[in-house]
Amino acid sequence: MTGVVIVAHHDRGAAGELATRTADWLCAQGHDVWMVPEDAAALDTGELSSERPPAAADLVLSLGGDGTMLRAVHLLDGAPVPLLGVNLGWLGYLSEVEADQLPDALARFAAGPAEGRWHLDERMMLDVAVRRGDGSEVGRWRALNEGVVEKRESGHTVRLLVRIDGEPFTSYAADGMIVSTPTGSTAYSLSARGPIVSPRHRALLVTPVAPHMLFDRSLVLDPTEHVEVEVIGHRAAELAVDGQRVASLTEGHLVSYRPSASTARFVRFGEWHYHQILRAKFGLADR
């Protein structure tokens, strides 16, 4: 481990202090540490600010919660850099250690997977693209959780046609349509009553949001199946990727989803039990 970039939550006071303390410790060990400029400015850690891309690092440290982890994944833009999540908030699905465990975690990571007893938990991501009705491309994005086509106007539904492998499945009148990864099954899809799917799977989950129709079930598809969502009504919609609005959609716009060739790589120490995170998150009893 030689290069470490720190990505931190802007509104958590503890994040700036932890970033400075961690950077001092890492530099004393002979490592190179920096922060992306917007984080350094927000947390008053300007001495760590650098224009160097996160993809140039050997490790990304995420200080915050799941939202910060998502932002760190997006900053990597598909680069195969390990990501270690440090939880500074409530129980998250993606973070691995608490703040007081960070020095030991970094020492273990630097020792290597054999000596440090860690491994990489690789998560499927989605490539999301938007085309106009004439076939011209609007843009491309990569999602760890989901891409959502959703209504723009309150009080109205949008009309959406879902195709699977190029063949029409059915049209929906709904508040929106979520296409998610297994990691995203516990994000927006969960609140829309979608299934919880182990992140060890590779699958595409298609979940309607408040559909105004009798068929309201989610679809769990093989990752080789290609999903498209087309806006077919006159009401405008928007595309959000991992919670960030990225494009405005009108009639004829087509959103396509495919598994990405890139994966998110999370550092895990010891055996990681997804179902135990769920159990704690929902306060489930033994019996």
Catalytic residues: 66
Check if the beta carbon of residue 92 is closer than 8 Å to that of residue 65.
yes
- Strand blocks (E) in 144-203: 146-151, 158-164, 167-174, 176-180
Show the DSSP H helices in 9-144 as ranges: 13-28, 37-42, 66-76, 102-110, 112-116
**Cα–Cα separations (whole angstroms), residue 14 to 6, 7, 88, 142, 279:** 14, 13, 8, 30, 27
Work out the angle at residue 20's Cα, subtended by the Cα atoms of residues 16 and 25, and round it to the nearest 5 degrees.
Answer: 145
Q: Which amino acid is at 106?
A: L
Q: What are the counts of helices (DSSP H) followed by strands (DSSP E) for the chain?
A: 7, 17
Of 206, 209, 207, the closest CA to residue 222 belongs to: 206
- Those residues whose C-beta lies under 8 Å from the C-beta of residue 120, and which sit 6 or more positions away, are 82, 113, 265, 266, 267, 268
Give the 3-state secondary structure of 34-71.
EECHHHHHHCCCHHHECCCCHHHCCEEEEEECHHHHHH
